[in-house]
A and B are shown apart, each in its own frame.
Chain A
Amino acid sequence: MKIKKGYRKERLDRGIKARVDDVFAISSYREIMYLAMPRTLFIIFLLLLPLSGSITGPYWQGVIIITCIIALLTLSWTFMYSVGLISLGHAVFFGIGAYIAGWLSSSLNLSPLITIPLAALSGAVLGALLLYPVLRLRGIYFALITFALPLFMMRLIEATGCLGGTAGLSGLHAFPSRLFASYLVIFVLLFVLFGYLKIMDSDFGLVLRAIRDSDLSVHAAGINVPLFKAQALFIGALPATFAGAFLTHYYRFVGMTAFALEYSIFPITSAVIGGTGLFPGAVLGAFILTPLSESLRAFGTLRIAIYSLLLVLFIVRLPEGLFSFIQKKYFQFERWVPLERKDDNAK
């Protein structure tokens, strides 16, 4: 950044931002557009994506679905993060959802439209129950336990040979069409994104955010912290278990890879790049990283190296995340103002 001598940089809210901060001030289409346009554009963009199939081809249609899946995982991770539960093993929720859907489909022969909601709900309950005993732990201790869980599940399936063992369950029911699948995952993604924003804005969400700041004070405020954390775990796990169940039916296969490390790592990297703790940032991060990592496939094994390098660059240059950066540019402007006195500079 260039520094102009004798001047300091000032960052101010745009006039329109200051006006629309108060909801009663919205009086013109311009102001309403200013507020609603970013999200409207994003929704339109998402809804048009599956229709671009004739231009991009089936491979990139698949990438769109995977991107939405990673976005759902990242939203799920971000929700838990905003309650102070840092998960290093999000694959456990993903895998539980995937295996429940696979088992329901293969043994009971149910259609995806029944198995997916069932697997998402029961998987989230199972995930919450699995972690309930360790909810007292905070920070790195909780993170380490979540890290161990997917490894544990994977080896459990390998050793006991249950649920198809190393071979997995295959030949499961498919979606009616790829277009149907794309729109299903896109609608769920939009629902989760705006639902989470709504929850965090409510008083219930406020309590969750307070738990992250100081759970002792929340205890002292007469609130049952473990209960709220368990609820948060359930709500947070839902998109992840849905993602697992969805992908099971999309691939018509579920195997031990459902607990793979990438489903734990991608949500974290996407969240960090988009802006840790921000729901729109989570989606943005996933929508940048996933297609990026796909397009790097041309580089073969170098892919991971380039990917890591980009990650480091992002973290160093934009530690607050891409979304906060864009938000700042959208709501505020910068200008150089002359220093009044020389003494100010001495500081």
Chain B
Amino acid sequence: MQNEVILKVQDLSRRFGGVRAVDGISFEVKSGEALGIIGPNGSGKSTLINLITGFVKPDKGAVFYKGNNITGLKPHKIASIGIARSFQTVKPFYNLPVYKNLIIPLYSNRVKKQLKGGCMGDRDEAAMHLLEEVGFERESNLPYKITGTLPHGYLKKLELARCLCLDPEIVIVDELFSGMSMSEIASAMPIMEKIVAEGKTLIMIEHRLRELFRVVQGVMVLNFGKIIARGTPEEVVKVEEVKEAYLGKEGETVA
């Protein structure tokens, strides 16, 4: 299981008007690997995720998941085969109570059958359990609040919980830590570490490098839609191109 290539991206390209958002990107992710993707704003990180998860159709190239070509599949298909993603800007269901947000992924075909008979009580219980895992105390009134009234940090965690609901094999999180306070990040770190420890494949887009480097083994650096470096965090920060493109002149002090 380990060291098997679970996700393979081949020459993936997409342009928006004259901008080459993603320009011939190829890489492989091994099962159980935790990969970080970094790069300046507009370097194509989010587009890359959208291409992999089917939200944007590629102009060229292909994506393989466990050896099967999944290019051009509908987003819900890709989610149901085990690739879950979070959004950079939170997209919760604002008018529902918090724990009801998780009923939606639990209602998908992927998870529906695993919950015994799909009885409503089971789904509510599963949702509460998952919420507890990402840091919503069951005893507090937080899970029952209307989602729109939650602080931003909790919405980010909810976004993550929605991914985990699908029992995914690949978890893709898009800038989870942005907009979170230091203490919220500190409480979210164990969740990320647990995802990796469980043997799930993790792809993380992140700007907060110190936290990112604690979770991931490999880092990929994008700029202008191309991969400019890939390696361990230590290797990557030494690459001259990366310093210029991403870390700027203050590249010595990481983050």
Contacts and interface: CB of A to CB of B under 8 A. Distances in A.
A209 interface: yes
A304 interface: no
Contact of B95 (A209, A219, A223, A224): A209
Contact of B79 (A202, A212, A221): A221
A213 B123 contact: no
A218 interface: yes
Contacts of A218: 76, 104
A293 B162 CA distance: 48
Contacts, number: 88
Chain A, interface size: which category?
Answer: 20 to 34
Nearest to A208: B104
B87 A220 contact: yes
B69 interface: no
Interface in B83-105: 84-87, 91-96, 100-101, 103-105
Chain B, interface size: which category?
Answer: 35 or more
Nearest to A277: B95
A203 B115 CA distance: 13
A217 B107 contact: no
B187 interface: no
B75 interface: yes
Interface string A196-218: 00000011101101101110111
Given A203-B120, A221-B105, A209 B96 contact: yes
Interface string B96-122: 100011011111111100000010100
Tell me if B's interface is mostly helix, strand, loop or mixed.
helix
Interface string A35-72: 00000000000000000000000000000000000000
B121 to A, nearest CB: 11
B55 A206 contact: no
B80 to A, nearest CB: 4
B131 to A, nearest CB: 15
A225 interface: yes
Interface in B152-186: 162-163, 165-166
Contacts of B84: 220, 222
B46 interface: no
A219 B55 contact: yes
A216 B55 contact: yes
Nearest to A216: B91
Contacts of B104: 206-207, 210, 217-218, 221, 223
B87 A202 contact: no
Contacts of A216: 55, 87, 91
Given A213-B96, A221-B166, A222-B166, A206 B91 contact: no
B53 interface: yes
Contacts of B165: 221
A207 B106 CA distance: 10
A214 B92 contact: yes
Contacts of A202: 120
B93 A204 contact: no
B76 A206 contact: no
Contacts of B106: 203
Interface of B: 53, 55, 74-76, 79-80, 84-87, 91-96, 100-101, 103-111, 118, 120, 123, 162-163, 165-166
Given A209-B96, A223-B76, 17 more contacts: A203-B106, A203-B118, A203-B120, A204-B107, A210-B93, A212-B95, A214-B91, A214-B92, A214-B93, A217-B162, A218-B104, A220-B85, A221-B76, A221-B104, A222-B109, A223-B107, A224-B76
19 contacts: A203-B106, A210-B93, A214-B91, A214-B93, A214-B94, A216-B87, A216-B91, A217-B92, A217-B93, A220-B75, A220-B85, A220-B87, A221-B79, A221-B165, A222-B79, A222-B111, A223-B105, A223-B108, A224-B76
Q: Nearest 3 A-B pairs (CB), nearest first?
A: A222-B108, A222-B79, A221-B105
